[in-house]
Amino acid sequence: MPNYKLTYFDINGGRAEPLRIAFHIAGIDFEDNRISFPEFAELRSSTPFNAVPVLEIDGVQITQSNAISRFIGKKAGLYPVDDMQALYCDEVLEAFEDLTHYVVRTFGFEGEELKLAREKLVDGWMSTYLKGLEKLLQRGGGEYYADNQLTMADIRSFVQVRSLCSGSLDHVPADIVQRVAPGLFEHQTRIASDSRIAGYYATHG
């Protein structure tokens, strides 16, 4: 069995949370290397793209959260075998990555600049992506995005929608998902009750 070490910020969310959940579901032991933001500033230059998450497999660094999602997802039975269903899954992963990029762009702002940037994001790209993702969920049948079962697409959606609903982003209304894409909110609630997801949070807070 290879040795796995996943490095990411010490938060219950973000790009690494779906990977942690997938490792749990797969029953694969890994080192969950959670770092502070000051620690990241020190080690970022040692990563291929000055960014995390980074997955080390027997010491070899692997980057790109969606690539890692597919890798672990296959081991956990969370990635479709059928090419078309895999494409559906990938589309959702990439769409959420796009949305993440738009949110991250606002992280350096403060005060009124932050408020205006977040309000513009909420009325613009965030609403556009949430509505589009709801359509992708409906295309998959309404319960799951692809393959009529839990996949990495559902887990990424669960993590990101859960974060948006937490109210942790200043100037982003905690009810935005319920108002703009209620199907995604219902999906997040449903995935949270899945025994595999609930089992992860029962041991990881």
Handedness of CA 163, 164, 168, 174 (dihedral sign): negative
pLDDT for res 154:
98
pLDDT for res 197:
97
pLDDT for res 204:
87
pLDDT for res 74:
98
Strand positions, DSSP E, 128-170? none
User: Crossing angle, helix 152-165 and helix 182-192, to 10 degrees?
Assistant: 110
CA distance 64 to 82: 23
Full-model pTM: 0.96
CA angle 146, 63, 158 (to 5 degrees): 35
Q: Shortest CA distance to 176 belongs to which of 188, 185, 168?
A: 185
The answer to whether residues 19 and 4 touch, using CB atoms and an 8 Å cutoff, is no
CA distance 68 to 56: 10
Strand, helix or coil at 8?
Answer: strand
Sequence-distant (6+) residues with CB within 8 A of 179 are: 173
pLDDT for res 56:
98
pLDDT for res 124:
98
Average pLDDT of adjacent 10-residue blocks, the chain of 205 residues:
96 96 97 97 96 98 98 98 98 98 95 97 98 98 98 98 96 97 98 97 87
